[in-house]
């Protein structure tokens, strides 16, 4: 019986420990591999993947564990990006100021909109998050002082306490990696805590949780705000990475892409969010070199992945590990 229990324990721990450990080990070593392959452009792509992965990890927290299908999640990313861009346009270019402002701005927007959105359920929740996301988008396009439709150019990346650390591509890569690791660990600790158990309980059986004395609205709102704050950090990093801020960061299409990334990687796994973001952007990079209509190819590929691996790439890796 002890021998039978050991594989079962390994199966449970594998996806939660082994796969994330492999992912972050690859990311740590990636700059060396890119340098050996003489493909420095891969560093730029990998940095972008990690920035998007931060946003998708935050989305997976509320989508995978709270059943909150948000079509306005990109608004938090855009708010974080605009916080950096607007402050930089006024000469306030230090990350020690702009990043906290980005987090607070995203948190306030999440708290206000979440308090309204979470009064609804199902398709109504989807539509009202979409409405708030589009409201943020049109607000950004109306900011003529900050570029309006054309966006806002950052002439340099943020400094950090007066030093130009972010200007170094390698250092910035590891800063983004550290933020991704922190976001993953924070969300993992939340999921494993009593708070996370209540959040998952509200997803499975809301009436039972109410009978036990829990307030689903309060727990969902806190999770929603936390997800918004993490996405705001993603937006601040994206602004520094692209050295450009655009209303396009907030579109409902971008929110839809975040959901696709979460589905592609495996909803409710957190590390699947990283896999999904990497796979989506890698496919976009490869297919867009073949045709500008790359989504026509990507769509059927996504359908095949969902059909043959309903749990996404994380479930596919888990099944391969079990077969081995």
* Residue 244 within any structural domain of the chain: yes
Residue 289, pLDDT score:
82
Q: What does pLDDT average to over the chain?
A: 88
Is pLDDT of 295 > 90? no
Report pLDDT digits (tens) over 152-191.
999 888 988 888 888 889 999 999 999 999 999 999 999 9
Is pLDDT of 215 > 60? yes
Average pLDDT of span 310-322: 73
Report pLDDT digits (tens) over 227-261.
999 999 999 999 999 999 999 999 999 999 999 99
* Residue 96 within any structural domain of the chain: yes
Cα separations in angstroms, 90 against 64, 95, 154, 167: 39, 14, 11, 19
* Residue 59 within any structural domain of the chain: yes
Is pLDDT of 11 > 50? no
User: For the domain that residue 310 is a member of, what is the CATH number?
Assistant: 1.10.3470
| More confident site: 274 or 147 | 274
* Residue 4 within any structural domain of the chain: no
pTM: 0.91
Is pLDDT of 283 > 70? yes
Q: How far apart are CA 324 and CA 108, in angstroms?
A: 48
Average pLDDT of span 102-127: 95
Residue 2, pLDDT score:
39
* Residue 5 within any structural domain of the chain: no
Is pLDDT of 306 > 50? yes
In terms of residue numbers, what domain contains 88? Answer: 17-323
* Residue 101 within any structural domain of the chain: yes
* Residue 3 within any structural domain of the chain: no
| More confident site: 318 or 277 | 277
* Residue 10 within any structural domain of the chain: no
Residue 260, pLDDT score:
93
Q: Say how many domains are in the chain.
A: 1
Is pLDDT of 136 > 60? yes
Split at pLDDT 50, 70, 90, the class of 7 is very low
């Amino acid at each position: 019986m002890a021998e039978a229990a050991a594989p079962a324990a390994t199966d449970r721990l594998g996806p939660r420990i082994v796969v994330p450990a492999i992912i972050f080990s690859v990311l740590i070593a990636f700059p060396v591999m890119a340098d050996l392959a003489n493909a420095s452009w891969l560093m730029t792509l990998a940095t972008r993947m990690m920035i998007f992965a931060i946003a998708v990890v935050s989305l997976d927290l509320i989508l995978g564990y709270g059943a909150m299908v948000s079509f306005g999640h990109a608004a938090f990313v855009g708010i974080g990006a605009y916080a950096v861009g607007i402050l930089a346009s006024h000469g306030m270019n230090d990350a020690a100021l702009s990043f906290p402002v980005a987090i607070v701005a995203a948190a306030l927007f999440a708290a206000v909109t979440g308090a309204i959105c979470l009064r609804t359920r199902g398709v109504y929740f989807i539509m009202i998050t979409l409405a708030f996301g589009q409201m943020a988008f049109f607000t950004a396009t109306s900011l003529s002082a900050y570029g309006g439709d054309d966006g806002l150019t950052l002439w340099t990346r943020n400094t950090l306490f007066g030093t130009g650390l972010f200007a170094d591509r390698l250092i910035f890569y590891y800063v983004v990696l550290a933020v991704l690791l922190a976001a993953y660990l924070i969300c993992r600790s939340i999921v494993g805590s009593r708070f996370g158990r209540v959040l998952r309980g509200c997803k499975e059986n809301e009436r039972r949780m109410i009978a036990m004395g829990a307030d689903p609205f309060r727990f969902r709102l806190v999770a929603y705000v936390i997800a918004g704050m993490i996405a705001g950090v993603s937006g601040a990093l994206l602004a520094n990475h692209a050295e450009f801020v655009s209303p396009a960061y907030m579109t409902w299409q971008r929110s839809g892409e975040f959901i696709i990334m979460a589905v592609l990687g495996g909803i409710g796994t957190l590390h699947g969010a990283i896999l999904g973001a990497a796979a989506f952007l890698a496919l976009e990079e490869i297919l867009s070199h073949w045709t500008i209509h790359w989504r026509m190819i990507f769509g059927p590929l996504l359908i095949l992945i969902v059909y043959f691996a309903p749990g996404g790439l994380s479930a596919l890796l888990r099944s391969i590990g079990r077969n081995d």
